[in-house]
Amino acid sequence: MLLQASQITKRFGHRMVLNALDLSLQPGEVVTIFGPNGAGKTTLIQILSTLLKPTSGTLQIGGINALEEALRVRPSLGLIVHEPLAYLELSPYENLKLFGRLYGLNGLEQRIADLLDEVQLTPYAHEPVRIFSRGMIQRFMIAKALIHDPALLLFDEPFSGLDLAAKQLVLKRIDHERARGKGIILTTHNTELGYHVGSRFHFLLNGQIETVAEKEDIGLETLSREYEERLKG
């Protein structure tokens, strides 16, 4: 088991954001979590990435207690959230070099060149990230999340603000990483794209997670209809 979250609860003051949530992930699996704004998707991703501590519950990543030994498990995580998690005054090359060095990577120059080429940012490798468009920043974030070839990828709304080409790049990359045996947890409210890449589906509504189905057991139309019904009701 790559990830095992049990009874994860998160409260902010009196407000319950996540309520006794269970989630698991196997290598080579893509778990898609659908939820509307405010459902707790970002909080869940922050907890799974060990950046935020849950109020209660346990979290095992790669067999390690991630809440007790966060520093040990973090290098095995790749995270894409709403923020770049990087320095916008630095260039993509400088950012990737800094983070690659901190991860202790060998062959870093080649790795950076390959990743920048893949996300089509080679011509902008030495420009500050702050001048980039939203789509370019998202592509840079993909490169940054993958620089250390993590075993577990956590994507929070990875398709938001992307043009068609960038969306296809993300989809292709998710397929590629899944084929390499990486585990991926993805949150989105876009049922079509979430269905396309996912192998197992969940709804996150009012802080509670519901397992919907494996991909082979449900079609896009049924999934979309069920999601809309659950949102209405």
Partner 1 sequence: MEAFRQIGWLIHKDLALQFRTKDMLALIIVFSVLVVLIFCFAFGPIFPEQLEERGKLAASVLWGTFLFAGIIALNRSFDIERMNGALHGLRLTGVDASYLYLSKVVSIFLFLMLLEVVVTPITLQFLDVLTVLPVALQAQLPWLLLKLIGVIAIGTLGFCAVGVVVSGISTNTPGKESLLSVILLPLTFPVVMAGAKCTVSLLTTGGLGGNFWISVLVVYSLVFLASSYLLFEFVVEG
- Binding stretches for partner 1 (CB under 8 A): 49, 51, 53, 70-72, 74-75, 77, 79, 81, 83-90, 94, 98-99, 101-104, 128, 144, 148
| CB closer to partner 1 out of 90 and 218 | 90
| CB closer to partner 1 out of 87 and 171 | 87
We find the least distance from the C-beta atom of residue 155 to partner 1, in angstroms, to be 14
- Name the 3-class secondary structure at 38: coil
What's CA 15's distance to the chain center, in Å?
A: 25
Residue 126 buriedness (CB in 10 A; 0-12 / 13-18 / 19+): exposed
| CB closer to partner 1 out of 150 and 198 | 150
We find the least distance from the C-beta atom of residue 52 to partner 1, in angstroms, to be 8
Which residues fall within 8 angstroms of residue 161, CB to CB, at 6 or more apart?
Answer: 134, 135, 138
| Lookup: tokens for 200 | 């197992």
We find the least distance from the C-beta atom of residue 101 to partner 1, in angstroms, to be 5
Residue with tokens 């989105």: 188
Span between the terminal Cα atoms of the chain, in Å: 34
Question: Are the beta carbons of 184 and 174 closer than 8 angstroms?
Answer: yes
CA distance 204 to 39: 6
| CB closer to partner 1 out of 103 and 215 | 103
CA distance 177 to 123: 25
| CB closer to partner 1 out of 45 and 193 | 45
Burial of 142-179, coded b for 16+ CB within 10 Å and e otherwise, reads bbbbbbbebbbbbbbbbbeebeeebbebbeebbeebbe
We find the least distance from the C-beta atom of residue 75 to partner 1, in angstroms, to be 4
| Lookup: tokens for 207 | 């802080």
| CB closer to partner 1 out of 83 and 228 | 83
We find the least distance from the C-beta atom of residue 158 to partner 1, in angstroms, to be 15
We find the least distance from the C-beta atom of residue 66 to partner 1, in angstroms, to be 12
